[in-house]
Structure 1
Amino acid sequence: MKSQQKCIVIFALVCCFAVLVALIFSAVDVLGEDEDGINEENCSKNCQVVIVENIPEDISISHEGTIPLSTGLHNLLDLAQKSVEIVSPLWALNSTNGSRFAQAKQGQLLLQRLMGLKAQRVHLKVASGEENTRAIPELKLLLNYGADVHDLNMTALTNGELHSSFWVVDRKHMYIGSAAMDWRSLSMRKEMGVIIYNCSCLVLDLHRIFNLYWQLQFRDFVPAIWSKRLTALYNKDRMLKFHLNGTNTTAYVSSSPDIFCPKDRTRDLDAIMRVIQEANKFIYISMTDYLPLITNSSHSKYWSRIDGKLREALILKRIKIHLLISCREQTHPLTFNFAWSLKSLCMDLSNCSVEVRFFSPRLQEDGSIKGINHHRYMVTDNSVYIGNFDWVGNEFLYNAGAGLVISKVGHEKEKSSTLVEQVKAMFDRDWHSTYTKTLQPNKVPTCSSITVFPSPLLKDQTGHTQQGNGPNNSL
């Protein structure tokens, strides 16, 4: 009997050991990454930041306080000495339309710079969500010029897509924003992001998200445990304290979906909720799509996480909310219902202020639409959130993305304006531009090439000239 019990105990121990070994080998192994000797003790905390934008030529909005996106990305490549790590949801730097050579020029110039990195002894690493890397012309070219490209099987991992868009250069400099490695992001779309220089403390944490993607190549499942080298350095409860453009600042990076968040990593959704919760005066949001729904092939259901938090801020704290949404062919009709639902909350309440406007691009003479507002950010009186997602329920559940939260510290008068103040000024500029239209009751628009307000003196299909709507008309 005792012999049988011993056998059972031994068998149980062997099974436990086998499970432990399986868990260890299922973990993402990054033990070979020395992170260039950078750690929390010796990393840089005296950093500089610039806002980068792409503003299409036909959009009459100035770059005051910002620099062109293409200029910022080339500046990062000028600084690169060891490595450039890029995550992008799309690779299409070459236009396939010969008639758009002028618009595609910036994309082609950027591709040439990336192709030349190996000759400069700079290691280019790309994490891609494309299903067949070698079928993408740009990635095939980069592979031929010495780049390393790892592709993630996002369908198997999360049943979603890779929407992350950021750069890590030498583990010291970074870009994060709305733009993909797409020629249209450098010419035809209105994009926004930030570039942060000499900030290895923060950049090292973003690099860990890149490294997570990098190690997921060839996997069709998410590991049960993660390596310590992927643990978040900072989060919403333990933020990095540093100097940004000479001002006291805190920051951290977030990630999605939940199963891509190792220990201590704040989820994008939680970061957004915290920024909304900590606002005291206003919440300004610039978003391509705002749709609090989770949809699948059979049905849709209300997704209250962000929408409900905004309603709480509006009703319980009397926070002023401005919501700027893109008006484009892909805009879901229910977007206007949700927008009007928000506005209706303040009908009979004092000190309650919410306004929704739609950024409407101009219709070109050839019938195409340029200048789509592709922003994905929020600014409050004390924080900025820049992400890679539209605020649609499905995005946070299945897709991979990254976000950045930057907050100013204290209320003392700084010698120079903070990033929060700069982003607010940029939002106000767009909000008051001639391209925004205010949502009006009983006037539900259709954002398509047919109903988007045309440029002045645009010829219709009959060849007659029609007068475009003037600025500041309501939708």
Structure 2
Amino acid sequence: MKSQQKCIVIFALVGCCAVLVALIFSAVDVWGEDEDGITEDNCSRTCRLVLVENIPEDVSIPYKGTIPLNAGLHELLDQARRFVEIVSPRWALNSSKNEFLLPQAKQGEILFHRLTLLKSRSVRLRVVSGISDSSELNILEEHGAEVHFVNMTVLTKGQMNSSFWVVDRKHMYIGSAGMDWRSFSTMKEFGLIIYNCSCLVMDLHRIFSLYRQLQYKEFVPSIWSKKLTALYNKDKSLQLFLNDTKSKAYISGSPDVLCPKDRMKDIEAIFRVIQEAKTFIYISVPNYLPILKSTQPKYWSQIDNMLREALILKKNLKVRLLVSCWEQTDPLTFNFLWSLKSLCMGSINCSLEAKFFIQHEQSDGHLTGINANRYMVTDNSVYLGNFNWVANEFVFNAGVGIVISQQNKINSTVVEMMKAVFERDWNSQYSKTLQANNIPACSKHTIKEHTDNMSTPALLQNSKDWK
């Protein structure tokens, strides 16, 4: 009998050890990394923030409290002493075949050249990419860069959409622009750079470490290193000063499976910002489409329902959506926007307006360029992320976001600066109002699908007739 009990105990111990070993090997095998002695007790919370954007030369919109994106990234390189860590969905900075058409595209090549010179300054360049075969990344490796490939298709059935920089664990960039020459020439991009803010940057660096350690993996770990746990979230925001203004901030991420303990998911961060808005919500995104596309497409209600709830329950709330009109605009976008707009028809307690941003229209009817801005600003907070507001991106793709909340109205706050940028674009000549019986023809694809599905093709009017 005792022998039998002994065997059971041994078997149980062996089983426990097997489970433990399985958990260990299913986890990230590099258990976090040195954070240069930076802790929550000694990190910097007095920070400087600048808004950066790229406005194409042929777009007649002035910079509004912002600096050129190109200048901002070069300043980050000037500041670098030890590390430059970059995550980008694209690597196409060299544009020699386009030089004779777009001289301003030279800016991408200049930035790429500076990246190749980092090793000569004893600055280590680390890159995380979802691109397995890139001539530019190969060149960077030849110049001493560490390049880490993460196969998001295998891990999440999605793509790497994250776009951010971490410099010396003290400075950061996050925004819509990837490492693509178009982001410094034909694309209208927007982001922010924060200097001397190691508390917040340390948290963003943890996401970089998470990506880097997923290299060569074919499945998402079931447990994560403690050093990848989020430092801040909506319930524990970082208390800091941004441009001498008392603020709160945290970093969010997507998709759910790449959010370790305490990491706020992008969709939850967006919900909190919408929920806390009191008087207005301004949203600028390239695409708005609450449809999860798969073998059987279905309605993805999260953000759409958030906005509907806010419009219905919050009195005197003003919501504005500025969506790009371009080759990838799905015809259903107009239906969803009009459905939102109809909630406030005949009501004096809510207001929803929608406009389409059209950058250029060629003689053949095709649209070039895009307003790639991806942010939301309310009366007390901002959310800036890497995604179009499209279901598939939040569910499958890797991305990060940042939420900043401020109450002080005396100084020029981040909230006020981003509100000014939105209003500038909203009131520009490139923004056209969504109207009944006047559906914008954003692409030949859009025109064809609408014509095939509507009983009155006359509803499709030329975008030049928009008000």
TM-score class, shorter = over 0.9
Find the aligned partners of 1:19 and 1:13 in 2 and give their Cα distance: 10
State the partner residue of 1:3.
3
State the partner residue of 1:464.
none
Find the aligned partners of 2:446 and 2:8 in 1 and give their Cα distance: 75
State the partner residue of 2:49.
49
1:306, distance to aligned residue in structure 2 (A): 0.5
Amino acid in the other structure paired with 1:65: G
Find the aligned partners of 1:368 and 1:119 in 2 and give their Cα distance: 45
Find the aligned partners of 2:366 and 2:209 in 1 and give their Cα distance: 39
State the partner residue of 2:148.
150
Matches within 5 A, 1:279-294: 279-294=277-292
1:350, distance to aligned residue in structure 2 (A): 1.6
1:95, distance to aligned residue in structure 2 (A): 1.9
Find the aligned partners of 1:434 and 1:443 in 2 and give their Cα distance: 18
State the partner residue of 1:308.
305
State the partner residue of 1:433.
428
Amino acid in the other structure paired with 2:17: F
Q: Secondary structure, in 3 states, of the residue corresponding to 2:333?
A: helix
Amino acid in the other structure paired with 1:60: S
State the partner residue of 1:87.
87
Q: Indicate the larger mover: 432-441 or 27-36.
A: 27-36
From the superposition, tell whether residues 221 and 31 of structure 1 become closer, same or farther in structure 2 (CA, over 3 Å).
Answer: closer
Amino acid in the other structure paired with 1:69: L
Q: Does 1:295 align with 2:280?
A: no
State the partner residue of 2:380.
382
User: Which of 357, 360, 382 pairs up with 2:358?
Assistant: 360
1:370, distance to aligned residue in structure 2 (A): 3.6
Find the aligned partners of 1:72 and 1:308 in 2 and give their Cα distance: 37
Amino acid in the other structure paired with 1:312: E
1:366, distance to aligned residue in structure 2 (A): 8.2
State the partner residue of 1:251.
249
State the partner residue of 2:126.
125
1:22, distance to aligned residue in structure 2 (A): 2.1
1:367, distance to aligned residue in structure 2 (A): 7.0
Matches within 5 A, 1:165-314: 165-296=163-294, 298-314=295-311
Q: Secondary structure, in 3 states, of the residue corresponding to 1:118?
A: helix
Amino acid in the other structure paired with 1:144: E
Find the aligned partners of 2:51 and 2:412 in 1 and give their Cα distance: 13
Aligned-residue sequence identity (percent) comes to: 64
Find the aligned partners of 1:150 and 1:248 in 2 and give their Cα distance: 37
Q: Render the CA deviation track for 1:392-424: whole Å, top value 9, x for unaligned.
A: 111111110000000103xx442x210000000
Find the aligned partners of 1:342 and 1:2 in 2 and give their Cα distance: 72
Q: Render the CA deviation track for 1:293-341: whole Å, top value 9, x for unaligned.
A: 1111x32111110000101111110321000000001100000000100
State the partner residue of 2:439.
444
Find the aligned partners of 1:198 and 1:256 in 2 and give their Cα distance: 26
From the superposition, tell whether residues 450 and 255 of structure 1 become closer, same or farther in structure 2 (CA, over 3 Å).
Answer: closer
1:104, distance to aligned residue in structure 2 (A): 2.0
Find the aligned partners of 2:222 and 2:249 in 1 and give their Cα distance: 28
Find the aligned partners of 2:293 and 2:311 in 1 and give their Cα distance: 26
Q: Indicate the larger mover: 4-13 or 269-278.
A: 4-13
Amino acid in the other structure paired with 1:151: F
How large is the Cα RMSD of the aligned pairs? 1.7
Q: Does 1:100 align with 2:111?
A: no
1:19, distance to aligned residue in structure 2 (A): 1.1
State the partner residue of 2:35.
35
From the superposition, tell whether residues 438 and 32 of structure 1 become closer, same or farther in structure 2 (CA, over 3 Å).
Answer: closer
Find the aligned partners of 1:328 and 1:449 in 2 and give their Cα distance: 10
Is the contact made by 1:356 and 1:438 (CA closer than 8 Å) also made in structure 2?
Answer: yes
Find the aligned partners of 1:366 and 1:145 in 2 and give their Cα distance: 43
Find the aligned partners of 2:90 and 2:205 in 1 and give their Cα distance: 19
Instruction: Write out the 4+ residue segments of structure 1 that deviate beyond 3 Å after TM superposition.
Output: 29-32, 98-101, 364-371, 449-452
State the partner residue of 1:459.
none
1:369, distance to aligned residue in structure 2 (A): 3.8
Is the contact made by 2:358 and 2:367 (CA closer than 8 Å) also made in structure 1?
Answer: no
Is the contact made by 2:230 and 2:263 (CA closer than 8 Å) also made in structure 1?
Answer: yes
TM-score, normalised to structure 2, is: 0.93
Is the contact made by 1:357 and 1:439 (CA closer than 8 Å) also made in structure 2?
Answer: yes
State the partner residue of 1:458.
none
1:469, distance to aligned residue in structure 2 (A): 7.4
State the partner residue of 2:456.
none
Q: Render the CA deviation track for 1:426-467: whole Å, top value 9, x for unaligned.
A: 000000000000011122222027999xxxxxxxxxxxxxxx
Find the aligned partners of 2:192 and 2:13 in 1 and give their Cα distance: 53
1:96, distance to aligned residue in structure 2 (A): 5.6
From the superposition, tell whether residues 47 and 215 of structure 1 become closer, same or farther in structure 2 (CA, over 3 Å).
Answer: same
